[in-house]
Amino acid sequence: MTTSETMARASAKSSGHTYAPKDGLLLQVADLHVEFHTPDGIARAINGVNFDLYEGQTLAILGESGSGKSVTAQAIMGILDMPPAVIPHGQIRYCGEDLLTMDPEQRRRTRGPEISMVFQDALSSLNPVFPVGWQIAEMFRVHRGMNKSDALERAVKLMQRVQIPAAKERVKAYPHQFSGGMRQRIMIAMAIALDPAVLIADEPTTALDVTVQAQIMALLQELQEERQMGLILITHDLGVVADVADKIAVMYAGRIVERADVFDLYRKPAHPYTKGLLESIPRLDQKGQQLAAIGGLPPNLMRIPNGCAFNPRCKYAQDVCREDRPALLEVVPGRESACHFAEEVLNG
Amino acid sequence: MTEASTIAVGAETSAPSQGQDEARSLTSDAWRSLKRNPIFWVSVVLIVVFVLMAAWPSLFTNVDPNAAVLKEARQRPNGNAWFGRDIQGYDIYSRTIYGARASILVGVFASIVTVLIGGAMGVAAGYYGGWLDSVVSRITDIFFAIPLLLGGILLMATFPNTVDSPYLVVVGKVVLVLSLFGWPGLARLMRSSVLQVKPNDYVQAARALGASPWRIIRAHVLPNAVAPMIVVATINLGVFISVEATLSFLGIGLTPPAVSWGVAISDAIVALRTTPHILLFPSLFLSLTVLAFIMLGDAVRDAFDPKSR
Amino acid sequence: MYKYILRRLLQMIPVLLGSTFIIFAMVFALPGDPTAGMCGERPCAPAFVAKFRLEHNLDDPLPTQYAKYMVNVAQGDLGTNFRGIKVADELKTRYPTTAKLAGMAIIFETIIGVFAGVLAGIRKGRFVDNLVLVSTLFVIAIPIFVIGATLQYYLGVRWKIFPVTVSPEATFYELLLPAFVLGSGSIAYVARLTRTNLVENLRADYVRTAVAKGLTRRRAIGLHTLRNSLIPVVTFIGADFGGLLGGAIVTERIFNIQGVGGYTFSSLHNHDGVAVVGTVTVLVLVFLLANLLVDLLYGVLDPRITHD
């Protein structure tokens, strides 16, 4: 992180940011736990997640359904349904301030101007009864106290920025009148409206066609570089994040099991689960061979296995894996894995 | 974070916890949750009691509902006449017990007839589609345009009862009126649920295998489309009883000598200022009956539609 | 939008013709004596019957009868009641009172019903929610005339908070209690419907978005969620309008209100068939128009409807 970038962020403060990052460190998630208290028992969705996010950095969080990746995003955003969700431990520090202990009103004011989020299904995530321009403009009206016409003007500019054709004419159109890709662009325009420092994108392209997926990812990357946002990209699709992410954290049963730079991880995974995921991607040079899928099912979050949560599905599993839970440790510099046999996996 | 308290958890977080449980069918699941619902049992018990009352009133009382003791008229509840006596000196307890029959008969028969008409119309429109759908839907719209009570008033005013109309004719007329203007809602509901069921693979498969339309409807469409209509019909049963009472209150529904809650309430309102107990008991029984059917319908709906919980 | 209105109006015509035909057929064309009961408990004098049959074209073929009847209705001629007064004239003097009564009932429905529904919905499973759920169930189960008579007795006669009956002027204050009684069942339905929809919509993704946008809870629920939850409520109020008109007959009878409903009741009581038929036909027309209005409003409230 250079001084000039820090300066840039500091000057951003005058344009509406209440908080300034120290040494570019935007977000620190520390020992985060999230449980869901349901009539059938307690589901432990997140069991001690740690990560940092810096300005201009793109962190991809990868995992299957139920791995806790979306819950992590929702916990950071503060949009978990509480109850049934409970956060028994952990901190989420934004520019040094713990969001979890922050006064609710103060926390609300961070949503939008400081941290903001793009959701998976833009059709259901946009309000069906308000025009899209109105919904974007609402950000300026609520957080900046702008009047209706000024806010709408800003909304048009944002729609142009995310490359919506004929933005001026379509500002009064409703969400259902746009295609899936265009709706996701509107969602993005709304999320970046107040120039947030952190943008969380929760499966932003899952509901879209493959060609549109690439366009949306390119747009996100472009905006991230332009504004030096910290971007958290939540996905279950390795292919989507490969070009965009700097770092990847792989989650399994509510824990990060591997973390590495994106190219290192792709080249040589250091956790059996990541290895399994990579092997399950169809490749052209494997034509005619059987696709390697990971056997078994993700664990029931109410009965996470003792030891390593992945052990019932792991071909490396030994007795130690059923007794001791491996910590997330550095295997080689810049690479972390939570596996008793990380080195064997990495070198094997 | 309190302001986030109403936002649901992403569906995917709760999915794995259910994934490994054995698959249960919707019906057995609904029955399980029904069995645990006290409202369901309360309404069932009430309905059983009222049906018994309608079928065998002598189980509950041996006082003749038509035995007037004029000199004891308007007597308050006492050891002799538990609910007191009405303006004409009838025993209110006995009248209330015997009054169940008319209400239950009207409610049950009007419900059966509306289910038959509405169901048939809905299936015809939904399953066959095309011109038949257009015709049936327009007919439904036309009947839907006449509000139940207004239609009832018209028909009952045109064909008024006379003092010597037989009991079954009096009741039958009310059933006819309620059925005539009560079916369109059910037809619309049935049509939309048939439309939802029809594109399913099992229906298409049965068609491809050459099953006759009648067989497909009976074996595949009806069992999967009938639940919402039954729920609404149950609730309607209560509504019909209430409308019958309203017609009687206006003097054109059931008429004396038929013993009915509506007639009793109508008579009692005149005397409300001096002897409120005459109004209380028939109103209480009528309301409890209506309530029981509405609660039963609600409970069944909740059981089949877990979303509403 | 104009195209939509036009289409809806055109669609209404067959429904209108069909429903008036049914009303007409029920009263004049079905086997049975249309003059039955008109002269009290005795059969009518042959001279009266003959005059009646002539006046109502009962000796013409059915379609002609209906056409003649409709032409009369279209010209505002609803026949003459047994006192020799034109039914249309009676209605003209009486409809403002009923309109006021029904309007106030709808306002009660909307304000109290929505308020109670929202209160219950945002506190789902708590005391307020259960209170609203249970009390509305009771209100729905108790027939309107029992509610009316009881409230009239306690609030009017015993505690003298409200006037017991309504004078021919039908002032706002006098109509408060009757309008509340008339709207009571619908208030309960609106409350339950609002609650159900609110609870369902609170789980919607766009509410999560609203919170993620940093909106206050008040704005996320009061604007984003409620706006969506009220769409079915508006539909209900329209469909329920017919019930309201029926209820007006009962309410006006209880509170002795000189409106259309009271007129229907006294006509029923006097076995004045022409007056009953004319009045109810007008009420059905009003109901149809109200439904059309609600359909149009629905298109405004839910942008997904008009633009498809």
| Residue that wins the pLDDT comparison between A49 and C61 | A49
Q: Is A138 on the interface with C (CB under 8 A)?
A: yes
Among chain B residues, CA nearest to A106:
B1
Angle made by CA atoms C14, B144, C238, in degrees to the nearest 5 = 100
ipTM of the predicted structure?
A: 0.83
Are C7 and C156 part of one and the same domain?
Answer: no
Say if residue B14's pLDDT is above 50: no
Mean pLDDT score of chain B, rounded to an integer? 78
pLDDT of residue B44: 92
Are C68 and C94 part of one and the same domain?
Answer: no
Q: Which of B1, B14, B17 sits opposite A104 (nearest CB)?
A: B1
Contact B154 C16 (CB under 8 A): no
Are C95 and C22 part of one and the same domain?
Answer: no
How many residues are present in chain C? 308
Task: Report if residue C69 sits inside a domain.
Answer: yes
Judge contact between C104 and C176, C-beta under 8 A. yes
Contact A36 B2 (CB under 8 A): no
Among C23, C47, C74, the domain-final residue is C74
Distance CA C71, CA C17 (A): 12
**Touching partners of C (3+ C-beta pairs < 8 Å):** A, B
pLDDT of residue C108: 93
Structure tokens given for A318: 């030994």
Q: Mean pLDDT, consecutive 10-residue segments, chain A of 348 residues?
A: 46 60 82 86 86 88 86 89 84 86 87 88 86 90 88 88 86 87 88 89 82 84 86 84 84 88 85 83 68 76 84 82 84 84 78
pLDDT of residue C187: 92
pLDDT tens sequence across C71-121? 887 787 777 776 677 888 888 888 888 889 999 999 999 999 999 999 998
Residue C191's Cα: distance from chain center in Å? Answer: 18
Say if residue C2's pLDDT is above 80: no
pLDDT tens sequence across C18-28? 888 887 777 76
Are C48 and C144 part of one and the same domain?
Answer: no
Judge contact between B240 and B107, C-beta under 8 A. yes
Judge contact between A249 and A262, C-beta under 8 A. no
Say if residue C60's pLDDT is above 60: yes
Which chain B residues contact residue C143 at CB under 8 A? 242, 245-246, 249, 262, 265, 283, 286-287, 290
Angle between helix axes C144-151 and C226-254 (nearest 10 degrees) is: 70
| Residue that wins the pLDDT comparison between B135 and C85 | B135
Task: Report if residue C196 sits inside a domain.
Answer: yes
Q: Which of A43, A70, A108 sits opposite B10 (nearest CB)?
A: A70
pLDDT of residue B258: 74
Q: What are phi and psi of C256, to 5 degrees?
A: 55, 50
pLDDT of residue B25: 63
Distance CA A90, CA A98 (A): 9
How many residues are present in chain A? 348
pLDDT tens sequence across B228-272? 888 888 888 888 988 888 888 887 877 777 788 888 888 877 777
Are C66 and C122 part of one and the same domain?
Answer: no
Judge contact between C175 and C166, C-beta under 8 A. yes
Are C272 and C207 part of one and the same domain?
Answer: yes
The number of domains in chain A is 1
Contact A129 C211 (CB under 8 A): no
Among chain B residues, CA nearest to A64:
B12
Are C242 and C108 part of one and the same domain?
Answer: yes
Contact C140 B294 (CB under 8 A): yes
Residue A87 lies in domain: 24-116+197-347
Query: B190, B168, B169: which is closest to B117 by C-alpha?
Result: B190
pLDDT tens sequence across B87-99? 776 777 888 888 8
Task: Report the CATH number at residue C142.
Answer: 1.10.3720.10
Are C158 and C283 part of one and the same domain?
Answer: yes
Structure tokens given for C204: 């919607």
Distance CA B47, CA B49 (A): 5
Which chain B residues contact residue C18 at CB under 8 A? 138-139, 141-142, 145
Q: What are phi and psi of C192, to 5 degrees?
A: -65, -40
Task: Report if residue A260 sits inside a domain.
Answer: yes
Residue C119 lies in domain: 87-301
Task: Report if residue C53 sits inside a domain.
Answer: yes
Upstream peptide bond of C303 is cis (omega within 30 degrees of 0)? no
For B184-251, the DSSP string reads HHHHHHHHHHHHHHTTSHHHHHHHHTT--HHHHIIIIIHHHHSHHHHHHHHHHHHHHHHHHHHHHHTT
Are C70 and C97 part of one and the same domain?
Answer: no
Task: Report if residue C307 sits inside a domain.
Answer: no
Task: Report if residue A185 sits inside a domain.
Answer: no
Three-state SS across B74-100?
Answer: CCCCCCCCCCCECCCCCEHHHHHHHHH
Task: Report if residue A137 sits inside a domain.
Answer: no
pLDDT of residue C114: 93
pLDDT tens sequence across C119-165? 998 888 888 888 998 899 888 888 888 888 888 888 887 888 888 77
Report the gap between the CA of A201 and the closest CA in chain B (Å).
Answer: 14
Confidence of residue C283 (pLDDT cuts 50, 70, 90): confident
Report the gap between the CA of C211 and the closest CA in chain A (Å).
Answer: 7
Contact B250 C200 (CB under 8 A): no
CA torsion, points B193, B196, B197, B198, in degrees to nearest 10? 120
Task: Report if residue C308 sits inside a domain.
Answer: no
Task: Report if residue C80 sits inside a domain.
Answer: no
Task: Report the CATH number at residue A221.
Answer: 3.40.50.300
Task: Report if residue A184 sits inside a domain.
Answer: no
**Touching partners of A (3+ C-beta pairs < 8 Å):** B, C
Q: Is B22 on the interface with A (CB under 8 A)?
A: no
What CATH number belongs to B49-308? Answer: 1.10.3720.10
Query: C195, C194, C155: which is closest to C178 by C-alpha?
Result: C155
Q: Which of B252, B269, B290 sits opposite C268 (nearest CB)?
A: B252
Which chain C residues contact residue A79 at CB under 8 A? 208, 211-212
Task: Report if residue A230 sits inside a domain.
Answer: yes
The number of domains in chain C is 2
Judge contact between C122 and B2, C-beta under 8 A. no
Judge contact between B254 and B110, C-beta under 8 A. no
